Amino acid sequence: MVSENEDSVMIPEELKKMAKIATDMQLPSKMRDQAVTQIGDIGSHEALLVLLNMAANEHLNKELRDLAVRKARDIIKKSPQ
């Protein structure tokens, strides 16, 4: 299943679930980091948008936001010119 966010970009449910895990501050940091890494491994445009959204979220800790930026950068580097 796919849903739309406010910018009319379709975000697959799998990405939404991973983002929810990644941003749940009640979960251990290792689990959140793994979720961010898995989002980065998906490597799609939608995954990039999810990671950038996480990086901009001031409610998340600095380390998680930095990881999201690094994974987003990896997606950009792998994309065709």
pLDDT single digits (tens) 12-26? 999 999 999 999 999
The answer to whether domain 9-78 has CATH 1.25.10 is yes
CA torsion sign for 42, 9, 16, 71 is: positive
User: Which pair of structure tokens corresponds to residue 81?
Assistant: 């010119």
Residues 46-73 have pLDDT tens digits of: 999 999 999 999 999 999 999 999 999 9
Q: Could you state, in order of their start, the residue ranges of all structural domains in the chain?
A: 9-78
Arithmetic mean of pLDDT, 73-80: 93
Tell me what percent of the residues of the chain surpass a pLDDT of 90: 83
3-state secondary structure of 11: strand
* CA–CA separation, 23 and 33 (whole Å): 9
Rounded distance between C-alpha atoms, residue 81 and residue 63, angstroms = 29
